[in-house]
Amino acid sequence: MPDEMARPLIRERGEGRGSRRLEASMSDPGAPVVGILGTGDFSRSLARRLVASGYQVVVGSRTPKRSAALFPEEAEVTSQMEAASQADLVFVAVFPEHHSTLVELKPALAGKTLVDVSNGLKISLEGPSNAEQLADLFPESSVVKGFNTISAWALQMGPRDGSRQVFLCSDSSTAKSSVIQLCRRMGFVPVDMGLLSSSLEVENLPLYLFPSWRIPLLCTLSLFVFFYLYNFVRDVLLPWITARKSVFYKMPIETVNVTLPSVALVMLSLVYLPGLCAAFLQLWWGTKYNRFPNWLDRWLTRRKQFGLCSFLCAVLHAIYSLCLPLRKSARYKLLNMAAKQVKEGVDDSWVDEEVWRMELYLSAGIVALGLLSLLAVTSLPSVSNTVNWREFSFIQSTLGYCALSMATLHTLLYGWGRAFDPTQYRFFLPPTFVLVLILPLTALLGRLALCVPCVAGRLRQIRRGWEKSRHIRFTLPDDGCRNGLEDVSHV
Amino acid sequence: MPDEMARPLIRERGEGRGSRRLEASMSDPGAPVVGILGTGDFSRSLARRLVASGYQVVVGSRTPKRSAALFPEEAEVTSQMEAASQADLVFVAVFPEHHSTLVELKPALAGKTLVDVSNGLKISLEGPSNAEQLADLFPESSVVKGFNTISAWALQMGPRDGSRQVFLCSDSSTAKSSVIQLCRRMGFVPVDMGLLSSSLEVENLPLYLFPSWRIPLLCTLSLFVFFYLYNFVRDVLLPWITARKSVFYKMPIETVNVTLPSVALVMLSLVYLPGLCAAFLQLWWGTKYNRFPNWLDRWLTRRKQFGLCSFLCAVLHAIYSLCLPLRKSARYKLLNMAAKQVKEGVDDSWVDEEVWRMELYLSAGIVALGLLSLLAVTSLPSVSNTVNWREFSFIQSTLGYCALSMATLHTLLYGWGRAFDPTQYRFFLPPTFVLVLILPLTALLGRLALCVPCVAGRLRQIRRGWEKSRHIRFTLPDDGCRNGLEDVSHV
Amino acid sequence: MPDEMARPLIRERGEGRGSRRLEASMSDPGAPVVGILGTGDFSRSLARRLVASGYQVVVGSRTPKRSAALFPEEAEVTSQMEAASQADLVFVAVFPEHHSTLVELKPALAGKTLVDVSNGLKISLEGPSNAEQLADLFPESSVVKGFNTISAWALQMGPRDGSRQVFLCSDSSTAKSSVIQLCRRMGFVPVDMGLLSSSLEVENLPLYLFPSWRIPLLCTLSLFVFFYLYNFVRDVLLPWITARKSVFYKMPIETVNVTLPSVALVMLSLVYLPGLCAAFLQLWWGTKYNRFPNWLDRWLTRRKQFGLCSFLCAVLHAIYSLCLPLRKSARYKLLNMAAKQVKEGVDDSWVDEEVWRMELYLSAGIVALGLLSLLAVTSLPSVSNTVNWREFSFIQSTLGYCALSMATLHTLLYGWGRAFDPTQYRFFLPPTFVLVLILPLTALLGRLALCVPCVAGRLRQIRRGWEKSRHIRFTLPDDGCRNGLEDVSHV
């Protein structure tokens, strides 16, 4: 479902322009002149967008005659030197490896603003960035990094959805200001990223592939593999080895469906454990001005992804469970049970405890899924933007712990009775529902401990700035989410 | 799933800054000077954000030496008097109860712009607001209220998602303009809230906890409790009292699953009733320039929330229903029925009418749920922003009435036959599906009545401004949604 | 669930204004003066919004005395001539058919900026637009088209969600700039649409009813009707005609549930076929600078809608399938089978192949649905705005092809064995799952062909600008999505 432009608003205007149009462009000689060096796809789209936004565009090409056909009529295509001289603001849209060919333009570009739109080919962690190299080549010009996150396609179509951000950085605030203004006039949303030393980050931006999802996804996958193998060995392989009972048909659905809720519950408790760690560390230190260890910092910032992975597993678990009675295997089993019941002359096979257990754990599961869905919906950027901090923290913290409690209850009710049944431990492998309860119960008990009045009071003091010793160290963003409320009251 | 910053873009720049950086800050002495009074978390985050956006920052502290370590290097930390004198725009980030300690700065602050960032501790309905009190303390300064909805966390991280709004109000438009500009340069989206008399509202903003959801949620909850008790008494308690038939196992799932669709249908009709009330009132008055009674006004603005509550109940009803065949109780019943059928020697237990009824009401239910899902998706802010009024009103009005009709049909088909079965009224308690049909049928009939040509024509006239008597009263936003189309054509 | 304003922030300020307020408006005589011609709903809402944003407002009315009561106190209501003379920027908010009545104001309006806010009554493909007609009437004024997409309701309430866009176009860049500024100050997001020749498009904007959905929806509907009739004839009608076997009860659910997955799979392959066509055309031409045929261009821009239609059908298919065991018909069948099994004395009716087939195709189906859900979620505007091109193309292309493969596998496993069963072809009508596999298999084979190293290499060359002949033609946006990554690296 690729992104696209709903309506062809900015249509081809190259043909059939009427007299009104010509007048207009005639009457507007005072429009700022913007230069573009380079004639690739990006240059062409940029030229069209600039022309559409009312700028005079001068394109510098090494082969101006051949290139002219590629650009909109209103843009002047000339030599690189000519373009560099005419414009005050020049987009450098040539390959970074060819930046050096521009050196001859140095005098013409002195004192002007150069916008470096280049990207690297792969994520680079060590500088210098393309923009810094350009700044070293042209020390007398002001280099602004930006527009590299915008594709030729987005440039040509116009930023219709209104939130295409252009990340800008520069050492010259004057140059940056003028690019910010140009940006706005083109309809983009400029985001100031500070000095040119941020340009490496800006160049890396379009090359990332879900960096914040890597650890949560890895975590989900390895938990899945572990629990799947565990359940496979316990429920499928061992019965076959010991009793030659072939239940391999369980592999695609039943084993997966025992694995998914385990992953979901562990991942959900991993959402709430780092916040508790942070709180206990702060209590231990007696101050909030200590820097958290790096792993905790990173974990805290990945909670949303952990939560969404947990939600995905929970939803899949629900769908798999709902599919269970659909299966031929379920039908065959039911038919065989009916035949057996008739054979044995049993009129009523009702077992009240089993009925109650199932009704209750299904209820708990549905409520947990409902709460998780609310959390997931409020994680959507457009929804979380409409709630204030108090509402956000209510949903993510209060409703989140409710969801964790209900999910834990669902597991407890499911395992009820069976957890103390020795036949479940035949192969010295406890059932998974026993294993997965460790972390969520830890999280819930930790949260309860923080509710004890004296602990809660001390924590509140600490988060309001109180310190055990008055040795103040530098503060860092710590537990942004749970601090939210205190933050806004500026305490 | 707490909100977080995907990539650490604005990294610690306190350490390891190269020479380029120093040059840059040297070469930029003309940057505007912004003052901050106060040294709390908010002040520090604000200082970093201002520095990153290219401002010169002067922090006024009562203990400048001790506080300096807490602020970025580029910010000057000095006495309050010094800071007040140097800056033209001063953020007041001290507790409102300490505002009076700033009185000695009055001469230094005269003629300057003060930004009050404080929040109250609880929602206050009566003024004066903190900002108004500050304005009374400093009559010669221009007070702007704002930034109170922004957390220290958001300040430090930068407004990455591009829609963090800063609500501003002030009596001085010059002062407001300069803060608006600063706001934009910091990457926030300023929203002008008018004069300082709005500051109480602005101060309350971050303290609200879903105010628009209160009534719809209360409504949903009380309907749920009512219908749950009704169904419990009718389906569980009375059979036990009269016949000692224990069906208490129905409480967690079956009774809930009869209750949820009732709530969903009633809530859905409550979405469409206020619009009909408004239309009939306008027809009765013969003008659209009459103010609606307060309850109707409020009801009209809560329709989205009513609809989403209804959708939530409908989805839960679907999940509960799909869970029904999963349950042990369903399995035991099936087994017993099979045993009974065999015992009685029946070969074919097929009842054609029952089969048809169920196929049909399931279909109607699925279609209703599908339509409601479309409505819910278009209620997401980012989706509703991409549709125009005509599309929005098509979805919410046309598709909405289709959903209501299908849901009503689902209920009618479900109850078909049984509604006229005297055994259903044993305890003088009609089945719930009879009760819940009252409101949706009223809504559908009311809508039909508005489609009668002469009524529809008159209503169209009225909404285009026609009046029975020419006595014109002051207009108010009335039926925004259904008026939408007319509004845009400026009739 | 109509849109609404969560909190009544901009409250009635007509009453109870204190002295501070009056001072403020007194002290602000330098605020720009904006004129409004016309006294309809839109004019009134506009006046309130302008006043709230700090502008001095002069309303020109033909009956100033009567109209004054309708406007906020701060706005001056006077004669049209007076208003036209006082203001530099004048909103023309009268019906386009009454524009000619304003001709007498021509001298007063000369050299001023006129904002035409009118809309047409229906979509018009041929000019001149209202704005162009106004420009012809007032050749000495600068006409800006805009604000027509904003409703009176949105004006009054303020653009709370921050992305209400105002589309502007004008032949005078000075006039446009001033309106852009005003727009921003009112809190709207101006989008520059170029010259006044775009005004027809801008006027049509609020009149569109999902233009980009028309073809995909038509496609979905006709596929649905075709497959439904095909399945009805094959599964319901023919058994009745040939064997008098009445299975009409299958019509509402079972036939629909065979039809929906067919539509979903065909629609999903239609998402990926145009991209493949484009790639093969480029390979054939040996250049990317050829214009695609119009139908392909349009198809490429509709892929998102095709995908979402496919997703909708897939979700409905899942819900219908999950409903299957709920039905009375399923229960009766099961009971009869149990009775039959007992009668025949079969103890174990287990068929291993059937069990495996079903477990496998259910798994594949669930995975396909999960992947499609991820694609659908990333299609939400607010989510797709947070990912970069590389991430977007990974999701839409890589995950998309995974979903297509899993969906095809689901169908293959479902039909496995039965596809070669002659009884399935009794009436010379192959089962639908055979028919629907044609397109997805074509798409998957085509994609595989593009992965052959020599083909892939040539395609990469072409997309980087290489050409078989050096005859360069004008470039057009072609395969935006799949080109995305190359685009951003500015090759």
Answer whether residue A489 shows pLDDT above 60.
Answer: no
Q: Is A362 on the interface with B (CB under 8 A)?
A: yes
> Per mean pLDDT, which range of A326-335, B432-441, C389-398 is the poorest?
C389-398
Residue A271: both structure tokens together: 């959402």
- Asked if residue C475 lies in contact with residue A42, where contact means CB atoms within 8 angstroms, the answer is no
Residue of A nearest to B24 (CA): A171
Do A219 and A201 lie in one domain? The reply is no
Residue of B nearest to A195 (CA): B21
Is C458 contained in some domain?
A: yes
Question: Could B381 and C164 be called an inter-chain contact, meaning their C-beta atoms sit closer than 8 Å?
Answer: no
**Number of residues in chain C:** 491
Q: Encode chain A in three state secondary structure.
A: CCCCCCCCCCCCCCCCCCHHHHHHHHCCCCCCEEEEECCCHHHHHHHHHHHHCCCEEEEEECCHHHHHCCCCCCCEEEEHHHHHHHCCEEEECCCHHHHHHHHHHHHHHCCCEEEECCCCCCCCCCCCCHHHHHHHHCCCCEEEECCCCCCHHHHHHCCCCCCCEEEEEECCHHHHHHHHHHHHHCCCEEEECCCHHHHHHHHHHHHCCCHHHHHHHHHHHHHHHHHHHHHHHHHHHHHHHHHCCCCHHHHHHHHHHHHHHHHHHHHHHHHHHHHHHHHHHHHHHCCCCCCCCHHHHHHHHCHHHHHHHHHHHHHHHHHHHHHHHHCHHHHHHHHHHHHHHHHHCCCCCCCHHHHHHHHHHHHHHHHHHHHHHHHHHHHCHHHHCCCCHHHHHHHHHHHHHHHHHHHHHHHHHHHCCHHHCHHHHCCCCCCHHHHCCHHHHHHHHHHHHHHCHHHHHHHHHHHCCCCCCCCCCCCCCCCHHHHHHHHHCCC
From chain A, the residues in CB contact with C480 under 8 A are 2-4, 151, 153, 157
- Give the side-chain half-sphere CA count within 13 A for C73: 9
Query: A491: pLDDT confidence band, cut at 50, 70 and 90?
Result: very low
pTM score: 0.86
- Contacts A–B by Cβ distance under 8 A: 259
Do A93 and A175 lie in one domain? The reply is yes
From chain C, the residues in CB contact with B389 under 8 A are 149, 151, 206
Residue B404: both structure tokens together: 């209501």
- Contacts A–C by Cβ distance under 8 A: 260
Residue that finishes a domain, picked among A156, A189, A207 = A207
Q: Given this model, what pLDDT does residue A161 score?
A: 47
Q: Given this model, what pLDDT does residue C51 score?
A: 85
Q: Given this model, what pLDDT does residue A469 score?
A: 65
In Å, how far is B22's CA from the nearest CA of chain C? 31
Cis peptide before C128 (omega within 30 of 0): yes
- Asked if residue C408 lies in contact with residue C438, where contact means CB atoms within 8 angstroms, the answer is no
Do A103 and A201 lie in one domain? The reply is yes
Q: Given this model, what pLDDT does residue B87 score?
A: 92
Name which of B4, B118, B160 is nearest A303 (Cβ-Cβ).
Answer: B4
Question: Could A332 and C346 be called an inter-chain contact, meaning their C-beta atoms sit closer than 8 Å?
Answer: no
Give buried/exposed letters for C361-392 (b at 16+ CB in 10 A, else e): bbbbbbbbbebbbebbebbbbbbbbbbbbbbb
In this structure, what DSSP letter does residue B55 have? -
Do C246 and C382 lie in one domain? The reply is yes
Q: What is the mean pLDDT of residues A200-217?
A: 90
Chain C residues 68-107 with CB within 8 Å of chain A: none
Question: Could C186 and B176 be called an inter-chain contact, meaning their C-beta atoms sit closer than 8 Å?
Answer: no
pLDDT mean across residues, chain B: 83
Q: Given this model, what pLDDT does residue C52 score?
A: 78
Residue A4: both structure tokens together: 């696209």
Is A438 contained in some domain?
A: yes
Q: Strand B165-170 vs strand B142-145: parallel, antiparallel, or unpaired?
A: antiparallel
Q: In the complex, which subunits touch A with 3 or more CB pairs below 8 angstroms?
A: B, C
Q: What is the pLDDT of residues C231-268, one digit of tens each?
A: 999 999 999 999 998 899 999 999 999 999 999 999 99
Q: What is the mean pLDDT of residues A23-46?
A: 72
Residue B315: both structure tokens together: 């989805």
Is B460 contained in some domain?
A: yes
Q: Is B21 on the interface with C (CB under 8 A)?
A: no
Do A162 and A215 lie in one domain? The reply is no
Give buried/exposed letters for C333-357 (b at 16+ CB in 10 A, else e): bbbbbbbebbeeeeeebbeeeebbb
Q: Is B335 on the interface with A (CB under 8 A)?
A: yes
Q: What is the pLDDT of residues B365-401, one digit of tens each?
A: 999 999 999 999 998 888 887 788 888 889 988 999 9
Q: Is A66 on the interface with C (CB under 8 A)?
A: yes
Q: What is the mean pLDDT of residues B433-443?
A: 94
Q: Given this model, what pLDDT does residue A457 score?
A: 92
- Asked if residue B92 lies in contact with residue B122, where contact means CB atoms within 8 angstroms, the answer is no
Question: Could B95 and A490 be called an inter-chain contact, meaning their C-beta atoms sit closer than 8 Å?
Answer: yes
Is B417 contained in some domain?
A: yes
Q: Encode B205-226 in three state secondary structure.
A: HHHCCCHHHHHHHHHHHHHHHH
In whole angstroms, what is the distance from residue B144 CA to residue B438 CA? 53
Residues 6+ apart with CB under 8 A from A452: none
From chain A, the residues in CB contact with C475 under 8 A are 41, 44, 70
Answer whether residue A173 shows pLDDT above 90.
Answer: no
Beta bridge partners of B114: B90, B143
Residues 6+ apart with CB under 8 A from A60: A35, A36, A37, A38, A78, A79, A80, A81, A82, A83, A84, A90
Q: Is C301 on the interface with A (CB under 8 A)?
A: yes
Name which of A3, A53, A252 is nearest C481 (Cβ-Cβ).
Answer: A3
Q: What is the pLDDT of residues A372-424, one digit of tens each?
A: 999 999 988 888 877 888 888 899 889 999 999 999 999 999 988 788 888 88
Answer whether residue A183 shows pLDDT above 80.
Answer: yes
Helix (H) or strand (E) holding C58: strand C56-61
- Asked if residue C58 lies in contact with residue C78, where contact means CB atoms within 8 angstroms, the answer is yes
Q: Given this model, what pLDDT does residue B490 score?
A: 31
Chain C residues 217-276 with CB within 8 Å of chain A: 271
Q: Given this model, what pLDDT does residue C230 score?
A: 95
Q: In the complex, which subunits touch C with 3 or more CB pairs below 8 angstroms?
A: A, B
Is C412 contained in some domain?
A: yes
Q: Is A360 on the interface with B (CB under 8 A)?
A: yes
**Which CATH number does the domain housing residue A465 bear?**
1.20.120
Query: B37: pLDDT confidence band, cut at 50, 70 and 90?
Result: very high
Angle between helices A400-415 and A256-285 (to 10 degrees): 130
- Asked if residue A482 lies in contact with residue A277, where contact means CB atoms within 8 angstroms, the answer is no
CA C259, chain centre distance (Å): 25
Do C259 and C242 lie in one domain? The reply is yes
Domain count, chain B: 2
Do C143 and C274 lie in one domain? The reply is no
In Å, how far is C475's CA from the nearest CA of chain B? 29
Do B265 and B359 lie in one domain? The reply is yes
Comparing CA positions, the residue from C219, C115, A301 lying closest to residue B9 is A301
Residue that finishes a domain, picked among B191, B207, B223 = B207
* Cα-based distances in Å from C199 to A137, A287, C472: 45, 61, 33
Percent with pLDDT over 90 in chain B: 47
* Domain ranges, residue B171: 30-207
Give buried/exposed letters for B145-182 (b at 16+ CB in 10 A, else e): bbbbbbbbbbbbbbbbbbbbbbbbbbbbbebbbbbbeb
Question: Could C21 and B163 be called an inter-chain contact, meaning their C-beta atoms sit closer than 8 Å?
Answer: no
> Per mean pLDDT, which range of A172-181, B115-124, C152-161, C300-309 is the poorest?
C152-161
Side chain identity, residue B186: M
Q: What is the mean pLDDT of residues B12-18?
A: 34
Is A341 contained in some domain?
A: no
Residue C272: both structure tokens together: 């990926």
Q: Which residue has the higher pLDDT, C441 or B346?
A: C441
Q: What is the mean pLDDT of residues B202-211?
A: 87
Q: Is C425 on the interface with B (CB under 8 A)?
A: no
Residue of A nearest to B2 (CA): A304
Q: Is A356 on the interface with B (CB under 8 A)?
A: yes
In whole angstroms, what is the distance from residue B172 CA to residue B169 CA? 9
Here the contacts of B247-255 (C-beta below 8 Å, separation 24 or greater) are: B249/A352, B249/A355, B249/A356, B249/A359, B249/B329, B251/A359, B252/A359, B252/A360, B252/A362, B252/A363, B253/A359, B253/A362, B253/A363, B253/B320, B253/B323, B253/B324, B253/B327, B254/B324, B255/B228, B255/B231
Q: Which residue has the higher pLDDT, B294 or C152?
A: B294
**Which CATH number does the domain housing residue C190 bear?**
3.40.50.720
In Å, how far is B457's CA from the nearest CA of chain C? 17
Beta bridge partners of C145: C116, C169
Q: Is B279 on the interface with C (CB under 8 A)?
A: no
Side chain identity, residue B243: A
Do A228 and A167 lie in one domain? The reply is no
Do C161 and C38 lie in one domain? The reply is yes
Question: Could C192 and A13 be called an inter-chain contact, meaning their C-beta atoms sit closer than 8 Å?
Answer: no
Q: Given this model, what pLDDT does residue A487 score?
A: 33
Q: Reduced to 3 states, what is the DSSP secondary structure of residue C294?
A: helix
The alpha carbon dihedral of B284, B289, B293, B296 has a sign of positive
pLDDT mean across residues, chain A: 83
Do A107 and A235 lie in one domain? The reply is no
Is C474 contained in some domain?
A: yes
In Å, how far is C378's CA from the nearest CA of chain A? 9
In whole angstroms, what is the distance from residue B324 CA to residue A356 CA? 13
Residues 6+ apart with CB under 8 A from A252: C359, C360, C362, C363
Residues 6+ apart with CB under 8 A from C107: none
Instruction: Tell me which residues of chain C have a pLDDT lower than 70.
Output: 1-31, 157-163, 469-491
Question: Could C332 and B346 be called an inter-chain contact, meaning their C-beta atoms sit closer than 8 Å?
Answer: no
Q: Given this model, what pLDDT does residue C49 score?
A: 86
Beta bridge partners of A58: A35, A76
Answer whether residue A25 shows pLDDT above 50.
Answer: no
Residue that finishes a domain, picked among A147, A174, A207 = A207
Q: What is the pLDDT of residues B44-94, one digit of tens each?
A: 889 988 887 778 999 999 888 888 888 888 899 999 999 999 999 999 998
Q: What is the mean pLDDT of residues B278-293?
A: 88
- Asked if residue A7 lies in contact with residue C211, where contact means CB atoms within 8 angstroms, the answer is yes
Query: B470: pLDDT confidence band, cut at 50, 70 and 90?
Result: low
In whole angstroms, what is the distance from residue C244 CA to residue C249 CA? 14
Name which of A121, A209, A249 is nearest C356 (Cβ-Cβ).
Answer: A249
Q: Is C399 on the interface with A (CB under 8 A)?
A: no
Question: Could B341 and C335 be called an inter-chain contact, meaning their C-beta atoms sit closer than 8 Å?
Answer: yes
Question: Could B164 and A205 be called an inter-chain contact, meaning their C-beta atoms sit closer than 8 Å?
Answer: no
In whole angstroms, what is the distance from residue C357 CA to residue C361 CA? 6
Do A156 and A221 lie in one domain? The reply is no
Answer whether residue A16 shows pLDDT above 60.
Answer: no
- Range among A38-52, B298-312, C97-111 rated most confident: B298-312
Q: Given this model, what pLDDT does residue B36 score?
A: 94
In whole angstroms, what is the distance from residue C439 CA to residue C278 CA? 16
Three-point CA angle C424, C428, C430, nearest 5°: 50
Is A371 contained in some domain?
A: yes
- Range among A437-451, B119-133, B330-344 rated most confident: A437-451
From chain B, the residues in CB contact with C13 under 8 A are 194-195, 197
Name which of B23, B153, B162 is nearest A163 (Cβ-Cβ).
Answer: B162
Answer whether residue A269 shows pLDDT above 90.
Answer: yes
Answer whether residue B482 shows pLDDT above 50.
Answer: no
Q: What is the pLDDT of residues A50-108, one digit of tens each?
A: 887 778 999 999 888 888 888 888 899 999 999 999 999 999 998 888 888 898 999 99
